[in-house]
Structure 1
Amino acid sequence: MTLFGTSGIRGPVGETVTADLALSVGRALGVDCERVVVGRDPRESGEFLQAALVAGLRESGTDVVDLGLAATPTVARAVGWRDADAGVSVTASHNPPEDNGIKLWQPSGQAFDAAKRERIEERIADGAFDPAGWDASGRLDSWDARERHADAIRDALDRDTLDSHVVVDVGNGAGGVSVEALQSLGCHVETLNAQPDGSFPGRPSEPKAENCRSLATLVAESDADLGVAHDGDADRMRAVAGDGTYLSGDVLLAIFARAAADPGQRVAVPVDTSLAVADYLAERDVGVEYTPVGDVYVAEAASEDGVAFGGEPSGSWIWPDRTLCPDGPLAAATVAALDAARALSERAAEVPDYPIRRDSIEVDGKRAVMDSVRETVLETYDDVTTLDGVRVDLGDAWFLLRASGTQPLVRVTAEAREASRADSVFQEARALVADARE
């Protein structure tokens, strides 16, 4: 039985994600936890899923700190603040409203790793649960942790005022703590889609470019200095420069990483990150450490000595000296501080822009296809990484072949410093998949 992906349990409500499942997760987690922090994003299904999960925890004799509607990074940070053993976010993050999910957090702020996830799955499968006695059920306390989170962000920036005009697109999600944090830093804050609503009526939850056009337009046509946008649980943050330009994830990653890392340090990034990031950071003698795709893997690498920052182009940003969870509100305040020191548009102009090619190839038996591809690639190329799929570094270019986690597809990505080279490498990579299908 496999319930957890790298981002926890996630799927359609009533099918993959049910109250019965939430109850089982609560019971399994409660086996070795004395106190657990729980919060949820605004999806209506989150109310009964959280209630079921809390019931399972309390039935196990575990005390629960209920944060109610709360950003995922608020939940993750609150585990340490409340001296708890674990945290649970009931959220499907950037997924559509018909989905929901469950993500588990350690006291460090890092998501549960593979071993911890497997232990929960085994307990659920085995029914390894002993209810507490009638007089030993867990207590339930409520706590609004948003002010504590906003205070932590203000303290992390260690400055009196930003005096910036920031537009925050909350995306009808749980990221209102960004507004509080920015206001506490002296910013004039204007909001879009600020009313929590799990149907996400203002825009789709994922803050990608096509979903942030209203934000970009408002920033461009007003006197705003920048704009920021969150997904449903605010673990992600994307940004718009003062001229209305939506910054790509790779550009924003490069900007954050260069500001966070000193010469000689490293930053953790997933294997699908642009070569432009490594080139830009190399100018400052900052190295890049590649990880599998997923914030849990980036967090693991970011916890190593000498790694100053971790980030994913999808919008997850981790400052390990603060917390090992992707903290969208912290990222929002940090990007505002960077812009106040020097305009984001100027910083972005310094990051190289390389041509990148992407495609998805439908296959039968993607596991067998990828096994064949991996064998061929290892025999043919010298610089190969198999952390997540197969990534080949060609010096002036690279390509990545990864199986989709949910569909019968192999995803092909190729990038080079020159367009013609990107095209040729892309065709070379596609041919490897085509040959493996035969």
Structure 2
Amino acid sequence: MALFGTSGIRGPVGETVTADLALSLGRALGVDCDRVVVGRDPRASGEFLQSALVAGLRESGTDVVDVGVAATPTVGRAVGWRDADAGVSITASHNPPEDNGLKLWQPSGQAFDSEGQRRIEDRIESGAFEPAAWDGSGSIETWDARARHAEAIRSELDCEAMDSRVVVDVGNGAGGVTVDVLQSLGCHVETLNAQPDGAFPGRPSEPTPENCRSLATLVGAGDADIGIAHDGDADRMRAVAGDGTYLTGDVTLALFARAAAEPGQRVAVPVDTSLAVADYLAEIDVGVEYTPVGDVYVAEAAEAPDVAFGGEPSGAWIWPAHTLCPDGPLAACTIAALDADRSLAERIAEVPTYPIRRDSVDVEEKGAVMERVSERIRAEYDDVTTLDGVRVDLGDAWFLLRASGTQSLVRVTAEARDEARADEVMATARDCLSAARE
């Protein structure tokens, strides 16, 4: 049984994610936890999933700290703040409203690693848990962790006050703590989609360029200095410059990493990150550490003492000095502070951008095909990484073939520093995949 993907358990409510699963997860987690922090995003299904999860925990004798509707990073951080053994966010993050999920957190703020996930899966599959005695059930208390999260972000920012005009698109999610912090720092804040609503009526939850058109238009046409967008649980953050330019994930990653890292340090990034990030950081003698795709893997790499920052171009940003949980509100306030010091429009003009090609190919038996791809490529190329799929570094370019974690697809990505070379490398990557399918 493989319940966990790269971002916890996630899928359609009533099919993959059920109250029965939440109950079993609570029982399995309660085997070795005395206290667990629980919170959820605004999805209506989160109410009964949380009730089932809490029932399983308390039946096991585990005390529960209920933080209610809260951003996922609020839950992740609260585990350490409340001296708990674990945390659970009931969320499907940026997925559509018909989905929900359960993501587990360690006291460090890092998501459960592969070993921890397997331990929970094994217990659920085998039913290896026992209820506590009739008089040993766990307690439950409610706690406002949002105020503590806001206080933590203010203490971590390298600024005292900002007289900036900021538009925050909360996405009908749980990221209102961003507004709290920015207002407390003196910013003039205008909100979009600020009412929590798990149906996400204002826009789809994922803050893509298409879904953030209203934000970009409002910022570009008005007098705002910067725009911020979150997904449903606010673990992700995307930004819009004062001229209405939506920042790509790679550019955002480059800006955060450059601000966080000192010469000789490294930043952790997934294998599908643009070559432009490495080039931009090399200017100040900062290296990159490649990881599999998924914030849990970026967080694992960010535990190394010389890694100052970790990020995914999808919008997850990690400052290991503060927490190993992707913290969208911290990222929002950090990028607002960067803009207040020097405009994002000026900063992004300094980051190189290269042509990148992406494709998804329907592939039956993707596992077997990827094994043949790996064998063929390792025999032909010298600089090959198999952290997540097969990535080939050609010096002036790279390509990646990676099986989708949820669909019968192989993702094909290629990048170079000029258009013709990018097309050439993409053709090579496609040829490698075609040969492995024969």
Question: TM-score, structure 1 length as denominator?
Answer: 1.00
Secondary structure at the aligned position of 1:268 is classed as strand
Q: 1:137-162 CA deviation, whole Å, 9 max, x = no partner?
A: 10000001111000100000143201
Could you tell me which residue of structure 1 aligns to residue 91 of structure 2? 91
Shift of 1:357: 0.5
* Matched residue SS, 2:183: helix
Contact 2:356 2:422 in 1 (8 A): yes
Amino acid at match of 2:105: W
Equivalent residue number for residue 169 of structure 1: 169
Which amino acid is 1:313 matched to? Answer: P
Report the TM-score, using the length of structure 2 for normalisation: 1.00
CA contact (8 A) 2:356 2:416 kept: yes
The alignment partner of 1:58 has SS state of helix
Runs of 5+ unmatched residues, structure 2: none
Secondary structure of the equivalent of 2:210? helix
The Cα offsets for residues 187-239 of structure 1, whole Å up to 9 and x where unpaired, read as 11110000000000000000010000000001011110000000000000000
Residues 1:404 and 2:404 aligned together: yes
d(CA) in 2 for partners of 1:45, 1:302: 33
Structure 2 match to 1:15: 15
Judge conservation of contact 2:159–2:337 (CA < 8 Å) in 1: no
The residue aligned with 1:311 is 311
Q: Gaps (5+ residues) in structure 1?
A: none
Partner of 1:52: 52
1: CA distance between counterparts of 2:158 and 2:239? 22
Paired position in structure 2 for 1:239:
239
The yes-or-no answer on 1:279 pairing with 2:279 is: yes
* Per-residue CA distance 1:364-389 (angstroms, 9 max, x = gap): 21011100000011000010000000
Give the AA of the match of 1:241: A
Amino acid at match of 1:140: I
Distance (Å, rounded) in 2 between the aligned partners of 1:93 and 1:51: 19
**Residue 5 (structure 1) aligned with residue 5 (structure 2):** yes
1:64 counterpart residue number: 64
- Deviation of 1:324 after TM superposition, in Å, equals 0.2
Structure 1 counterpart SS, 2:369 = helix
- SS of 1:21's equivalent in the other structure is helix
- Aligned to 2:30, what secondary structure does the other structure show? helix
1:125 matched to 2:154? The reply is no
Identity, % of aligned pairs? 79
Cα distance in 2, alignment partners of residues 323 and 40 from structure 1: 19
Please give the secondary structure, in 1, of the residue aligned with 2:117: helix
Indicate the residue corresponding to 1:417 in structure 2.
417
Partner-residue secondary structure (3-state), 2:398: strand
Residue 406 (structure 1) shift: 1.3
For 1:111, the equivalent position in structure 2 comes to 111
Q: Secondary structure at the match of 2:357?
A: strand
Q: What is the aligned length?
A: 438
1:320-399 equivalences in 2 (<5 Å): 320-399=320-399
Give 1:205's aligned residue: 205
Provide the secondary structure at the position in 2 that maps to 1:209. Answer: coil
Hey, what does 1:229 align to over in structure 2? 229
**Equivalent-residue separation in structure 2 for 1:88 and 1:407 (angstroms):** 26
1:146 aligns with 2:156: no
Amino acid of the structure 2 residue aligned with 1:321? A
4+ long deviations beyond 6 Å: none
Q: Could you tell me how far 1:163 is from its partner in structure 2?
A: 1.1
